[in-house]
Amino acid sequence: MFQTIWEEFVRYVRRLDKVLLLLCLAALTFGCVILYSEVQAEFITMSKWKMQVICAGIGIAALLVLSAISYRFLSRVWFLHLPVTLGLVLLTFSSLPIVYKPDNTDDAAWLRYGSLSLQPSELLKVSFILTFALHLSKVRDEINKPSHILLLCLHGAFPCLLIFKQGDMGSALVFFFIFLCMFFTAGVSWKYVLLGMGVAGVAAPVVWFSGLIPDYLKNRFLVLADLENAALKEAYQQLQGRQILGSGQIFGKGLFSDDFVYVFAIENDMILAHVGQALGFVGCAAVILLLLAICVKILLIARASRDPLGCYICTGVFAMLLFQFAVNVGMVLCVLPVIGITLPLFSQGGTSVVTTCLSVGLCMSVSAGSRRSG
């Protein structure tokens, strides 16, 4: 019996995508070190840092477990995980005392019990990637039938609209980008792409002037046209973040400098600004290269996948990470509006860390399946 267990363990280790695992470990470790620097600067508390470390450990454990489970099985049991993740999101629309709106934020997208908090929309991303990948794989031979296109669009629109209604525009856009990338990967006809672009072009001004988008969100887009002359309250965070980012110059002030400057959300939305002042251009480049390497590795797994389902899952995870990473960097560089999107594996936030690790675990499951088939 012991020999059988050992042989299974050896086979598991051989199938494990060690490169992707090491990249994620490097990013998580780097992120925890950066956040510890913020603890020393008294930007965040030690308890928050400890929780981040605990969540990173939970995330890696979940990643390893998921990598050992067939992604085909995980997609087929959508009726187990989807009701849980969707139900948690729907709870945020209730008046229960566990619904939580953090200070200085615009959305009640959190659940909190005591000192523990959870952002359900993060977990819903994993369920959406699995269910949408399964949907695409079932209709892939007839995907361009109008009825299938309509149902796929409804599948993608539901979480986008639900999270937007929740008040979290950033997460809603993440869902939309995941949908687009998976949808196009499945081979949708260009006539539907052009039709969608036309509908979006007509709908955009209607939505903008309809009152569906709150004024504070509109202002975040409008100030980008002239940040230097924008009202102080509207542009301060981004201007200050950009200044902090560049203050470290090439090599930074050091992880434990006593000359750090604080800006709101420097532990999550503006984490790259702190990397810039602590480790300079070199540190920022290392962060960007690490995240790019993870994205490229996931794309390579998608390409090597033995079936469309695995390819779609990896495409969804790639889209999620790339969009969050690109938008977060754009926010700090003042080329994109602040819409509450964190830097994957680096920003402070336990739910985000665990969700990212779960998503990477799905890709490692696809990679293991490809090696097993090979």
> Among 361, 360, 343, which residue's Cα sits nearest to residue 352?
343
The number of beta carbons lying within 10 Å of the beta carbon of residue 50 is: 11
pLDDT digits (tens, 9 = 90+) for 346-368: 999 899 999 999 999 999 999 98
Mean pLDDT of 133-144: 93
**What CA dihedral angle connects 266, 284, 220 and 214, to 10 degrees?**
-70
Based on the structure, what is the number of domains in the chain? 1
> What value does the mean pLDDT of the chain take?
89
Q: How far is CA 216 from the centre of its chain?
A: 23
Instruction: Specify the pLDDT at position 179.
Output: 96
Instruction: Specify the pLDDT at position 228.
Output: 66
Q: Is the pLDDT of residue 340 over 70?
A: yes
pLDDT digits (tens, 9 = 90+) for 65-82: 999 999 999 999 999 999
Helix axes 271-304, 308-332, angle to 10 degrees: 160
| 23-37, 73-87, 101-115, range with the lowest pLDDT | 101-115
Instruction: Specify the pLDDT at position 104.
Output: 57
Mean pLDDT of 1-27: 84
> Which are the contacts of 105, defined by CB distance < 8 A and separation ≥ 6?
340
Instruction: Specify the pLDDT at position 216.
Output: 75
> Among 146, 151, 121, 122, which residue's Cα sits nearest to residue 136?
151
Structure token digits, residue 29: 């470790």
**3-state SS, one letter per residue, for 173-214:** HHHHHHHHHHHHHCCCCHHHHHHHHHHHHHHHHHHHHHCCCC
Q: Is the pLDDT of residue 231 over 70?
A: no
* Predicted confidence band of residue 233 (pLDDT cuts 50, 70, 90): low
pLDDT digits (tens, 9 = 90+) for 237-291: 888 899 999 999 999 999 999 899 999 889 999 999 999 999 999 999 999 999 9
Structure token digits, residue 358: 């779960």
| 129-143, 157-171, 355-369, range with the lowest pLDDT | 157-171
Q: What residue numbers bound the domain in which 80 lies? A: 2-373
Instruction: Specify the pLDDT at position 203.
Output: 82
Instruction: Specify the pLDDT at position 215.
Output: 77
pLDDT digits (tens, 9 = 90+) for 311-321: 999 999 999 99
Q: Is the pLDDT of residue 212 over 80?
A: no
Q: Is the pLDDT of residue 214 over 90?
A: no
